[in-house]
């Protein structure tokens, strides 16, 4: 376990190359999820999202998710470097959760209390100004940060991928939103596992074409690929 928050920050990196010889135990991941659930902030503790943990060991589903999450749509599948973070041994899928019924516990006239969309992967249609959608996305982002650090503190790495947005309908089916009365639309995906070293541009097996490819870049070189904006461009001191 890490002693300081900075230690945990330094342990975390976006992972493309997974150690296939070591698979995190489900209970260890659930332990981290329980820690986050017990301590994370949420508006009136409504938790307007769900976090779906899935063992990613079905070859057909791995290929399907990898195909959805193509990295560069202007490239052919053979040229595309892919998003191998979604080939992690475990995946977390995030979706919105119906909480309009909770909104009126203490605020009977709340506009959010009449939002529709309840049930089985449906999309809300009457959030005209996007207030609830914004709340959901903010809280999903907060949970993502918490769980990344909680897992890093246990030596487990993560890799995020937003490209699942290319086909939310397939993602909804893969993560079984259609079976849950509180599940709204799918939003985001995260891979979980033990990562290989971050200095090497490892190869991985791309299930889309059943051939080895190099990962997009070694995690240690991320700032060469995507330069970090200057501190003063992001942190504004008034």
The CATH number of whichever domain residue 152 belongs to comes to 3.40.109.10
Distance, CA of 137 to CA of 147 (rounded, Å): 15
Region 217-226: mean pLDDT is 94
Structural domain boundaries enclosing 11: 5-234
Residue 120 or residue 103, greater confidence: 103
The answer to whether residue 149 scores a pLDDT higher than 80 is yes
Q: How far is CA 111 from CA 116, 128, 134, 151, 229, in A?
A: 11, 11, 15, 37, 38
Number of domains, the chain: 1
Decide: 93 and 121 in contact? Cβ < 8 Å: no
At 2-38, the pLDDT tens digits run 468 788 888 898 999 999 999 999 999 999 999 999 9
At 47-89, the pLDDT tens digits run 999 999 999 999 999 999 999 999 999 999 999 999 999 999 9
Token digits of residue 193: 């596992």
């Amino acid at each position: 376990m890490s002693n300081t928050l900075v230690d945990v920050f330094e342990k975390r990196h976006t992972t493309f190359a997974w150690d296939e010889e070591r698979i995190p135990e489900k209970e260890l991941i659930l332990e981290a999820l329980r820690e986050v659930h017990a301590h994370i902030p949420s508006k009136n503790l409504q938790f307007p999202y769900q976090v779906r943990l899935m063992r990613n060991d079905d070859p057909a589903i791995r290929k399907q998710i990898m195909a959805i999450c193509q990295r560069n749509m202007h490239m052919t599948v053979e040229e595309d470097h892919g998003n191998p973070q979604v080939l992690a041994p475990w995946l977390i899928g995030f979706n919105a959760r119906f909480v309009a019924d909770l909104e009126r516990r203490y605020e009977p006239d709340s506009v959010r209390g009449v939002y529709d969309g309840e049930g089985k992967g449906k999309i809300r249609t009457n959030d005209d100004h996007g207030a609830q959608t914004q709340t959901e996305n903010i809280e999903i982002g907060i949970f993502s940060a918490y769980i990344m650090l909680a897992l890093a503190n246990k030596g487990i790495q993560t890799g995020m991928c937003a490209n699942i947005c290319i086909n939310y309908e397939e993602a909804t089916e893969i993560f079984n939103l259609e079976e849950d009365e509180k599940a709204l639309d799918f939003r985001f995906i995260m891979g979980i596992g033990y990562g290989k070293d971050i200095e090497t541009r490892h190869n991985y097996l791309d299930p889309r074409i059943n051939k080895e490819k190099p990962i997009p870049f070694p995690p240690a070189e991320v700032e060469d690929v995507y330069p970090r904006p200057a501190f003063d461009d992001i942190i504004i001191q008034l």
